[in-house]
Amino acid sequence: MIVLGLDPSLTCTGWGVVKSEGARLTHVANGQIASSPREEIADRLAALYAAVTEVIVRYRPDVAAAEEVFLNKNPQSTLKLAHARGAVLAACGAARLGVHEHSAKVVKKSVVGTGGADKKQVQAMLKVLLPGAKVAGADAADALAVAIAHAHLGPRH
């Protein structure tokens, strides 16, 4: 099973692709899709949609996974996150790719062993679980963690 993990954001969306064969995980690819706040929001969302579509076409995942939505204290930040998620999920939907959502706690527990892990612990475990993988940045690391969590949870989620 090839899993596409997604960490949507209007500023920088992370993506990561892993291959799961039983208990064995293999890193396939990862990256980040950045956009400039100087661009119009519609152009940023169109570029995000196109970039995620390109990743899907290139790596042909069997399934996608993303972290469940959380609410920020700042309503504007929540709205921007929702816009980015919409573009990312629309790209998956257009490709007929199912998207499963997992809470941040479930992702951390699946990757590190505890739902209260911090970002540094998650990134350290990525090095153990995906040896030799060059991670493009923090957002790509988060996306890889989501992909790994989904691979561990199995096709029923």
Residue ranges at the known binding site for Mg(2+) = 7, 67, 139
Q: Where are the domains of the chain?
A: 2-153
In this structure, the chain runs to a length of 157
Annotated active-site residue in 21, 54, 101, 139: 139
Arithmetic mean of pLDDT, 106-117? 92
Is residue 148 scored above 80 in pLDDT? yes
List pLDDT tens digits, range 9-33.
Answer: 999 999 999 999 988 999 999 999 9
What is the structure's pLDDT at 49? 98
Cα(136)–Cα(117) distance, integer angstroms: 21
- In sequence order, what E strands does 68-123 have? 99-102
Is 67 labeled as catalytic in the residue annotation?
A: yes
What is the structure's pLDDT at 71? 63
Arithmetic mean of pLDDT, 122-151? 95
Token pair, residue 141, equals 């690391």
Per-residue pLDDT band at 155 (split at 50, 70, 90) = low
Per-residue pLDDT band at 77 (split at 50, 70, 90) = confident
Is 139 labeled as catalytic in the residue annotation?
A: yes
Say what the pTM is: 0.94
Residue ranges at the known binding site = 7, 67, 139
List pLDDT tens digits, range 50-66.
Answer: 999 999 999 999 999 99
Annotated active-site residue in 67, 68, 101, 118: 67
Give, in words, the CATH class of 2-153: alpha beta
Beta strands 24-34 and 12-21 are: antiparallel
Annotated active-site residue in 7, 54, 101, 118: 7
- In sequence order, what E strands does the chain have? 2-7, 12-21, 24-34, 63-67, 99-102
Cα(9)–Cα(77) distance, integer angstroms: 10
